[in-house]
Structure 1
Amino acid sequence: METEIPAMLAARQLVRPERFLFHSSRMRMKTVSKDELAAMDAESDRCALELSDARVDVMGYACLVAIMAMGLGYHRRSEARLHERTAGNGAPTPIVTSAGALVDGLKVMGARKIVIVAPYMKPLTKLVVDYIASEGYEVIDHVALEISDNLNVAAHDPERLPGIVQGLNYKDADVIVLSACVQMPSLPVVAKVEALTGKPVLTAAVATTYAMLRALGLEAVAPGAGALLSGAY
């Protein structure tokens, strides 16, 4: 999960003066199932507390489905609770969840109709689709890649994604969500899918990066990361 967000911020360092340091604390999860996701989410308070010792400037909860599997609107409760944990340690820190970042990023882009590529099994993908729909978006098509092993999600070849998108009914979509998962690689083909489809592309990792930069009060731009980080918004 620590792959694409640092890559985007490293690319940003080539065009802007700010420099970034990364700290991480991990919640355990091997199989992407509802039970393991709930157990993982229960560790988020510990992680926030550990990272607050480092007095970081922003924290990103980088697992979209763990949040969306906990019930509609849960990203707001999670962000508020984790912020309280950091404040209790004397280091109140802005909290960004990839779930909240994705729904907010779609709003920034003016999206109403979207299509989604998700690596999850079908029941979890339905939870994600329903969660995003509850935030006011119409999901006109989606695909579940049904990858249950978390390491296999990370190993999925992003070069497969353009072909997968071609099989979706994206013509009436305002935005293509190329990866509804921070873990599944997509950054190398974001620009390619935008060129192939003529549609703006968003991913969970791109949205999280945008939200973290905004929380830092910095210009939300990064080369090669698609429409949201192009500077157009």
Structure 2
Amino acid sequence: METEIPAMLRAREAIRPERFTFHSSRMRMHKVVREELETMNRQGLRCAAELADARVDVMSTACLVAIMAMRPGYHREVEQELQQVARENGCDARVMTSAGALIEGLQILGAKRVALLAPYMRPLTELVVQYIENEGIEVADWRCFEIPDNLEVGRRDPLRLAEDVTALNTAGVDAVVLSACVQMPSFPAIQTVEDRLGVPVVSTAVCTTRRMLDHLGLEAVVPNAGALLSGRYPLPSQLTR
């Protein structure tokens, strides 16, 4: 969240007049296991209150698996809770989650069948797959790298994904999720893999950036960030700003 989303916003600044500031409040987590994810989620309300002090225009959680590992549809509950805290602290920001952004990004693409890569341990990845499928999107194939250490996930070379994706069966899919995790970097590989596969390629960071721009009422364009940020996919009527 703190690297790839600002990188995309900076890239957009090179071609559009809008300028952005980026603010963050951190929830502590070291090992990507359910117990730590549950503890981290409880820190979200504090973070929302802290970010409200900056009077941001849009606010989002970062950790997708912390949401998707809980229960189906949980991102909607979290968004409502965080929005309430923001309002109580005098902030009118649009509030979203990276988990919801991935679902909505795939909906914007009209994707009904996807393949994905994730860094999580297998049981957590299975929960992510189930969560996505509960939202009406089939996960035709997936691979997980089973990296338990959160810092190691963030240090992974994003260009390795261009090779990793070859292990996926992408035949007949509408989109590929190159990184289902905001923490696992993928931005440098997105356009390369999309050009090679010939189908839209996204990541949770790409989808989060897209929905941030939507909420800000700005054209969803970022250079070399794949189809979702190409300007070719308008916002569907069911996804209001």
TM (norm. structure 2) is: 0.95
Query: Is contact 1:25–1:47 with CA below 8 Å preserved after alignment?
Result: yes
Q: Deviations over 1:77-101 (max 9, x none)?
A: 0001100001111212211211000
Q: Which secondary structure state, in structure 1, belongs to the residue aligned with residue 172 of structure 2?
A: coil
Matched residue, 1:59? 59
Matched residue, 2:25? 25
Q: Which secondary structure state, in structure 2, belongs to the residue aligned with residue 139 of structure 1?
A: strand
Q: Deviations over 1:135-187 (max 9, x none)?
A: 00110000011010000000111121121111111011100000000110100
Mean Cα deviation higher: 194-203 or 100-109: 194-203
Matched residue, 1:7? 7
> Structure 1, unaligned stretches of length 5 or more?
none
What's the RMSD between the two structures over aligned residues?
Answer: 0.7
Shift of 1:22: 1.1
Matched residue, 1:87? 87
Matched residue, 1:118? 118
Query: What is the identity, as a one-letter code, of the residue corresponding to 1:156?
Result: R
Q: Deviations over 1:181-210 (max 9, x none)?
A: 011010001111112211110100000000
Q: Deviations over 1:8-54 (max 9, x none)?
A: 00000011110001111000000000000110010000000011011
> Structure 2, unaligned stretches of length 5 or more?
234-241
Shift of 1:70: 1.6
Matched residue, 1:149? 149
1:10 and 1:138 mapped to 2: Cα distance? Answer: 33
Matched residue, 1:170? 170
Matched residue, 1:78? 78
Is 1:107 equivalent to 2:107 in the alignment?
yes
TM (norm. structure 1) is: 0.99
Is 1:210 equivalent to 2:229 in the alignment?
no
Q: Which secondary structure state, in structure 1, belongs to the residue aligned with residue 151 of structure 2?
A: helix
Residues paired across the two proteins, number: 233
Percent identity at matched positions? 58
Shift of 1:59: 0.6
Q: Structure 1: which 4+ aligned runs deviate by more than 4 Å?
A: none
Matched residue, 2:236? none
Q: Which secondary structure state, in structure 1, belongs to the residue aligned with residue 232 of structure 2?
A: coil
1:184 and 1:95 mapped to 2: Cα distance? Answer: 23
